Amino acid sequence: MPPRYLLSLFVLTFSVSTLWSPVLSQAQSQLPYWTKATPATVARQELYPEVLNGKIYVVGGILNPVTKFSAHFESYDPVKDTWTVLRPLPEARHHITLSAVKGLLYGVGGFTGGLPNWRAQPTMFIYNPASNTWSKGTDLPVARAEGISAVVDDKIYLIGGRVRATEDARLFNDHIDSVRNEVFDPTTKRWTTRANAPTARNSAASAVIDGKIYVVGGRKFSKSADGTNRQVNVPNLEVYDPKLDRWERRSPMPQARGGLAATSLNGKLYVFGGEQWVPEQKVFAESWVYDPKTNGWEALPSLPTPRHGLGASAVGNRIFVFGGATKTGGNAATAIHEVLVLPTK
């Protein structure tokens, strides 16, 4: 090929590569980034999802309007990007935790009733994916809802949340925040009391990293001097070591929020969304990541859709964030499903 043609070809190739390289570089280098996935089959909020055998399970929740709540149960397959509706929970619940141990899922506690008629329950329901059936488990020592659950060494820890102020509690306001920390052993089928959490709170989020339970955010429910109710967010990050039965306070998150979602991936804690009631009502889009090695927080790309009462689960190098409500309180539940794609480790 004559030299002048080689020169022309070089110029053409250089021009095209110059034109397209920023686009390719941007697509390849801007990690993490958000993308969309198939919405859930039902719009709902106050979700506590769990991962089992590579699939994400979500149960119960509050519907639209906030006076309705659900026994709906479904799983999401990240590989196929599909949701599958499963046998519903035996009884409708919201704020019910879900934990996976040895191939089974344990749904614990939660509220019955639509707002304001919330009543914490002590019940445990056990789901077997192989038979798509539920069975009754061992009740909690004390009825509880809006706490967090975490699994360490095949044992289920239930921490914080709301308990009934009196046995006949029937309303949302008839409950108080708790520091209770109880562990369930599926082998012995017994609950045992462990060291209380440093902070009484509800609507926190949690994840397990290196065998320790990280509890973050949430809020405290209290009455002001004038008799009005207040929901005050807390930024606290507290870490529980089940082996030592000991708590440790770590660096608080940059924004105090309740009704947030959290998960762990590659040794870090990821936190999404949430809401606040005072000094003004607000739903958060901001997302954060915490590194236990540095005891520091860094900002992530914000949620495309601000939400609270949402669920978050990590599978592979992606974090799936779904459901929740786009306005404070109820009546704005959504089935939105957004995915944060992270660099591979």
Q: Divide the 345 residues of the chain into consecutive groups of 10 and give the mean pLDDT of each group.
A: 42 34 42 97 98 98 95 98 98 98 98 95 98 98 98 98 95 95 98 98 98 98 79 97 98 98 98 95 98 98 98 98 95 96 90
Do residues 271 and 290 lie in contact, with contact meaning Cβ atoms separated by under 8 Å? yes
- CA 27 to chain centroid, in Å, comes to 28
Which residue type, as a one-letter code, is found at position 21?
S
In a domain, 26, yes or no: no
> What pLDDT is attached to residue 29?
53
Do residues 66 and 330 lie in contact, with contact meaning Cβ atoms separated by under 8 Å? yes
Q: Is the pTM of this model over 0.85?
A: yes
> What pLDDT is attached to residue 280?
93
Number of domains forming the structure of the chain = 1
In a domain, 247, yes or no: yes
Which residue type, as a one-letter code, is found at position 106?
Y
pLDDT in tens, 95-154: 999 999 999 999 999 999 998 999 999 999 999 999 999 999 999 999 999 999 999 999
In a domain, 15, yes or no: no
> What pLDDT is attached to residue 15?
35
Angle at 339 between CA 335 and CA 344, to 5 degrees: 160
Q: Alpha-carbon distance 53 to 40, whole Å?
A: 19
In a domain, 62, yes or no: yes
In a domain, 20, yes or no: no
In a domain, 320, yes or no: yes
Q: Residue 63, SS3?
A: coil
> What pLDDT is attached to residue 249?
98
Q: Tell me which residue range forms the domain holding 103.
A: 35-341
Residue with tokens 């509050």: 62
Rg over CA atoms, the chain: 22
CATH number at residue 201: 2.120.10.80
In a domain, 316, yes or no: yes
In a domain, 29, yes or no: no
- CA 254 to chain centroid, in Å, comes to 18
